[in-house]
Structure 1
Amino acid sequence: MIRRCPQCGTAADDKYGFCYKCGYEFPKIEVDPDTCQSCGFHNPPEADYCVKCGAPLVFKQQFEKTSTTNLGPIVIQKEVVQRPPEQRQNRTSRWLILFGYIFSILGGVIGLIIAIYLSTRKDPVARKHGHIQLAIFIFYIALILILYATGNIPADAIAQYKQILSGNFTRI
């Protein structure tokens, strides 16, 4: 708080307790930190500014600074969690997971093979992605069966597909 020295008239900060020009000792002021120094209004304890006039509660801020400076430094430690070797994912399984999704979405047999391979691994991440890829295949099979049962896919299309797979395809 800035006070005017009664001896020399110099404006001085009274946080030191004396005038820095002439050495006059300021009398100590006992104040409530919740009372505004500008208007004298008593504020609630959680207020940082006066509720009536909006002036900052200077003594409250000084009390908070002195109370927090007595505390020790805040130390934040970051824990580095190492996965056990059986849970680490290598590059091969990452590529297999990627290609498994590509081929399972395209509906190929290679995607089914990769999905079965991944679902039999010990790595829980690879096993989870293998199960998801198998679920994609089950969805495709269910979709084809529904379309066949409703007549949207003719039986000739399935017969032609079987001929393509066996290599005996002839154009009509």
Structure 2
Amino acid sequence: MIRRCPQCGTAADDKYGFCYKCGHEFPKIEANPDTCSLCGFHNPPEAEYCVKCGTPLLFKQQFEKTNTSNFGPIVIQKEVVQRPPEQRQNRTSRWLILFGYIFSILGGILGLIIAIYLSTRKDPVARKHGHIQLAIFAFYIALIAIFYLTGNIPPEAIAQYRQMLAGNFTSI
């Protein structure tokens, strides 16, 4: 049974009869479920909490169910929560998200295609990353427009870029 040591305040298991921090000996608890496990006070039968110290009478319901004086240890089971299949991300989505960020940051057309593909998926995680990658492209377009309008990118550079895209590499 887990009890709080009255000497040092540590929550300790009293199956050995002593606190593991300070060595305080726990008083023996009688088999009555109305007796408080912390202070040993005998409570009225209708009490859910100790009337002296306020500690919950945890073993009262267990005693009424089993009607024995031999209480086992408290076992707290951790519940493992798994995502539903529609919320789980598959390996393909992870790789596409990774490559989407790489190509989005590098500014390639492949990154734009991956970003559009991801933003149209049913998976909310993939859709979110697709929207972020599209925002990166929007930022790059806004940055290029600001540089062009302020004169930091000359109009000749845009003309050379258009020629390069058209396949005419003679005047680079």
TM-score bin, normalised by smaller chain: 0.5 to 0.7
Tell me what 2:134 maps to.
134
What residue in structure 2 maps to residue 95 of structure 1? 95
Distance 1:91 1:137 in 2: 24
**Hey, what's the Cα distance between the residues in 2 that align with 1:71 and 1:154?**
84
- % identical equivalent positions: 81
Counterparts in 2 of 1:145 and 1:77: CA distance versus 1, 3 Å: same
- The structure with the greater share of residues assigned to helix is 1
1:76 alignment partner AA: I
TM-fit CA distance, 1:62: 2.3
Contact persistence 2:7–2:24 (CA under 8 A): no
Aligned to 2:116: 116
Cα deviation, residue 109, structure 1: 0.5
Give the alignment's TM-score, normalised by structure 2: 0.60
Distance in 2 separating the partners of 1:150 and 1:93: 39
Give the unaligned 5+ runs of structure 1: 1-45, 49-59
Is 1:61 matched with 2:24?
A: yes
Runs of 4+ with deviation above 6 angstroms: none
Structure 2 partner of 1:160? 160
Checking the alignment, whether the CA contact within 8 Å between 2:97 and 2:118 is kept in structure 1 is yes
CA shift, 1:165, in A, is: 1.3
Q: CA deviation at 1:75?
A: 1.9
Aligned residues: 117
State the partner residue of 1:26: none
Counterparts of 2:117 and 2:137, CA distance in 1: 14
How many angstroms does 1:123 deviate by? 0.2
Distance 1:151 1:71, change over 3 A: farther
RMSD between superposed Cα atoms in Å: 2.7
Shift of 1:82: 2.1
Stretch moving more, 112-121 or 90-99: 90-99
Provide structure 2 residue ranges, at least 5 long, that are not aligned to the other structure: 1-5, 9-22, 30-36, 39-69
Paired residue secondary structure (1:85) = coil
1:25-70 residue CA offsets vs partner (Å, 9 max, x unmatched): xxxxxxxxxxxxxxxxxxxxx764xxxxxxxxxxx932478647x9
AA matched with 2:150? T
